[in-house]
Amino acid sequence: MNAPFYKFGLFGDNVSLIVAFFIGIGFGFFLERAGFGSARKLTAQFYFTDLTVFKVMFSAIITAMLGLFYLSWMGLVDLSLVYLTPTYLLPQVAGGILLGVGFVVGGYCPGTSCVAVSTGKLDGVVYLLGIIAGIVVFGELFPFLGDFYTATPMGQITLPQLLNVPYGLVVFLVSLMAVGGFAGATWVEKKMASRKGEQTS
């Protein structure tokens, strides 16, 4: 049997929603267990004192990338059927900057704010209400932002296509980047911890 299962007709729309629900529950559970329901832990990455967020999210990206690559190589996944969000460069860069600023100021991203709400954190509730308000405002302003929203379209493009290099080479380079990133993050954490110890002694 090949995957994606939905594209090959293993289940329909109704079952896909149920599957997505349980995947979402599992994702939220592991986020909470990793401590991502705490704004203090999340913002600690911006002070370079605790880079757990970086390590966990990069680990998830690498795991998914390697899994898809090798399952495709074994003929179990048809990568051409895996949905990719179309790239609109400028509006997505602007959205990324806006999300980053909100992350630094509020201490959450949309997903982690939901995790915080599920564990009863008041700051998570406030942040989620802010997200909902932002969605409403964006919806009202969309007629004025529509042209920018679809500006600089690049289609469903991947790094191998963009760089015109083999898929396997990109996988290898990103994996090397991850190893270097993990080592660098650990070094930075130790450096910041020793500096903090010197200041308190």
What DSSP letter does each residue of 29-97 carry, written as one string? HHHHHTTTT-HHHHHGGGGTS--HHHHHHHHHHHHHHHHHHHHHHTTSB-GGGS--PPEEHHHHHHHHH
- What tens digit of pLDDT does each residue of 53-73 get? 889 888 989 999 999 999 999
* Domain span including residue 32: 1-83+170-201
Is 162 among the domain residues?
Answer: no
What does the alpha-carbon distance between residue 166 and residue 169 come to, in Å, rounded to a whole number?
A: 5
Together in a domain, 94 and 25: no
| Predicted model pTM | 0.80
Together in a domain, 3 and 79: yes
- What tens digit of pLDDT does each residue of 28-38 get? 998 898 888 89
- What tens digit of pLDDT does each residue of 138-190 get? 999 999 999 999 999 999 999 999 999 999 999 999 999 999 999 999 999 99
* Total domains present in the chain: 2
The answer to whether 39 and 107 have CB atoms below 8 angstroms apart is yes
The answer to whether 115 and 124 have CB atoms below 8 angstroms apart is yes
Together in a domain, 109 and 141: yes
How much is the pLDDT for 201?
60
Q: Which of 30, 56, 51 is nearest to 41 (CA)?
A: 51
Is 176 among the domain residues?
Answer: yes
Together in a domain, 48 and 62: yes
Residue 8, pLDDT > 90, answer no
Together in a domain, 40 and 111: no
Together in a domain, 77 and 175: yes
Together in a domain, 90 and 79: no
Confidence label for 200 from pLDDT (cuts 50, 70 and 90): low
Is 76 among the domain residues?
Answer: yes
- What tens digit of pLDDT does each residue of 88-119 get? 999 999 999 999 999 988 889 899 999 999 99
The answer to whether 60 and 49 have CB atoms below 8 angstroms apart is no
